[in-house]
Amino acid sequence: MKLLNDRNIMIIGLGLMGGSYAKALKRLDMHIMAIDTNPDTIEYALDNGIIDEGFTLPDAGALGRADIVIFALYPNVFKKWIADNQKYLKSGAIITDVTGVKSYIVYDIQAILRDDVEFIAAHPMAGREVYGVQNSTEKMFRDANFLVVPTDKNTPEAIEWCKELGRLLGFINVSVLSPEEHDKMIGFVSQLTHCIAVALMTCSDSTHLADYTGDSFRDLTRIANINDDMWSELFLLNKEPLLADIDRFIEEMQTMRSLLADEDREGLREKMRLSTQRRAAFNKK
Amino acid sequence: MKLLNDRNIMIIGLGLMGGSYAKALKRLDMHIMAIDTNPDTIEYALDNGIIDEGFTLPDAGALGRADIVIFALYPNVFKKWIADNQKYLKSGAIITDVTGVKSYIVYDIQAILRDDVEFIAAHPMAGREVYGVQNSTEKMFRDANFLVVPTDKNTPEAIEWCKELGRLLGFINVSVLSPEEHDKMIGFVSQLTHCIAVALMTCSDSTHLADYTGDSFRDLTRIANINDDMWSELFLLNKEPLLADIDRFIEEMQTMRSLLADEDREGLREKMRLSTQRRAAFNKK
């Protein structure tokens, strides 16, 4: 496996996710380099042995030594970063990423990328409600899903390499999806759920109810604590699938409302039984 | 405290909640009696030392010995049970309950109840996605909220007694609310959240996505595994507050939809920041 032979890793953006990759790969004795514009982040990561080398600007020499480049910044800056810095990359390097939208970036990046470098997209479906390298931990990969998102331009070797990366990082489940399948799926299971949690918090000021709530409200709104910078970008970059999901969900809420208004108890029970039956598929094995 | 002096407890309905009350009160050396129509339930509870005496029908002698009666069945059968069986109760007995809607039952029960017996309503806001005495556990009261729901008919002594009950059961927080305040609050934090979770599962068949989901979808739909018999009844008995909550929530989802359709990133970010700010109040202390 390339991953186990080529040991120089460069992480672009050392936040929660970049830091967690660093910790997981460091445990495999990789040589970890990182670029982050915040000098405190680099200092913290060096002091705590999370990385071996750190930079606050793209370093031509370090980039030229990287076998593997992991892009862990927001999608909007990805294309520009590649355009500006791909000239420094070593021939044969592999680039992967962690971004939560794919159609918007994968084709464009692959179109502008040098022929002797390969970009294989990935989405580690793990997260926490806290930020920064200080909160990074490989533990968040346990029990989580890792998605490899190739296009026709990717080589079978890179796809296999990326699947291996997911397994080595410690993800319990590694799957392969096209960029379109990925974005449709993520619109539903991730972005729609965040939109719902936000709307539930913003539709009415419930903060005075904090002492009265059960776990259901807490669980449902855990993700209402949201990074507005990142998530507003993810929403906009996946606008069409997400709009369709929101419409489908609102329509179903209206159906539930009608059943209740009509006091159609059997109709409500049918919905609840279907819900229970489908939810069973999501119980962790 | 009456609770610590009068030690004969009668639990009506030995399910998840009744069983958990039994276990918590047994630890305080109370004498626990229970009535449940299912003979297997009674046998299990006796065999496992959860109760001291068990009955499958209202037992006049046992009811006459009870200092405290805990009604742990569905709201619809509560009134009839009182009408049929209150004649057996000891003078001076206290009745409390666990039901999740209050206006619908509290006034009616207090109106028909004998003058020498007092009903003080309560709502233990704890639950699990499993049922039955076999799954009962006092642990579900830890970190949970206990609501005492008195009316003008209740004595200060009974209100104090019921608050003490919540504390002795192990609840972290005990509050007092009127039936109307309770139902308005519960419509929002409990019934609306269950309605949302059900609609998210039923609006589209997502079961093939189980391998791709992150924790956000799992957390949000945990309560989509729902007891249709109990929850359809709770929805209908709290119809007006819940309809108003559903309308408010749908309206907010439509606002989020418009912000996204208009690509109003700043508007989305404002909603997300408000959401994050409000959610902070719900972090467990």
What is the pLDDT at residue B4? 59
Contact criterion met (CB < 8 Å) for A203 and B249 = yes
Contact criterion met (CB < 8 Å) for A189 and B214 = yes
Query: Which of A196, A216, A252 is opposite residue B202, by nearest beta carbon?
Result: A252
Report the pLDDT averaged over residues B191-205: 94
Domain(s) labelled CATH 3.40.50.720 in chain A stretch across 2-177
Q: How far apart are CA B272 and CA B275, in angstroms?
A: 5
Q: How do strand A145-149 and strand A121-125 relate by DSSP bridges?
A: antiparallel
Query: Which of A212, A223, A254 is opposite residue B216, by nearest beta carbon?
Result: A223
Q: How far apart are CA A203 and CA B275, in angstroms?
A: 9
ipTM passes above 0.90: no
B192 chain-A contacts, CB cut-off 8 A: 200
Among A125-139, B77-91, B270-284, the minimum mean pLDDT is found in A125-139
Q: How far apart are CA B163 and CA B148, in angstroms?
A: 7
Domain(s) labelled CATH 1.10.3660.10 in chain B stretch across 182-282
Q: Please tell me the pTM assigned to this model.
A: 0.81
Q: Across-strand partners of A122?
A: A148
Report the pLDDT averaged over residues A166-174: 94
| Architecture of the B2-177 domain | 3-Layer(aba) Sandwich (3.40)
Q: List, for residues B150-169, the tens digit of each pLDDT value.
A: 999 999 999 999 999 999 99
B217 chain-A contacts, CB cut-off 8 A: 189-190, 193, 282
Q: How many CB pairs under 8 A join A and B?
A: 293
Contact criterion met (CB < 8 Å) for B228 and A269 = yes
The answer to whether residue A284 scores a pLDDT higher than 70 is no
B268 chain-A contacts, CB cut-off 8 A: 228, 231-232, 235-236
- Helix A228-237 × helix A75-85 angle, to 10°: 80
Q: How many Å lie between the alpha carbon of B256 and the closest alpha carbon of chain A?
A: 7
Q: Which CATH class is domain A182-282?
A: mainly alpha
Report the pLDDT averaged over residues A173-179: 95
Nearest CA in chain A to B173: A211
Contact criterion met (CB < 8 Å) for B203 and A251 = yes
Rounded (10°) CA dihedral A185, A186, A190, A192: -70
What B136-140 contacts at long range (C-beta under 8 Å, 24+ apart), as own/partner pairs, is B136/B15, B136/B16, B136/B17, B136/B18, B136/B19, B136/B20, B136/B22, B136/B23, B136/B50, B137/B20, B137/B23, B138/B20, B138/B23, B138/B24, B138/B27, B138/B169, B138/B170, B140/B20
Q: List, for residues A220-243, the tens digit of each pLDDT value.
A: 888 899 999 989 999 999 999 999
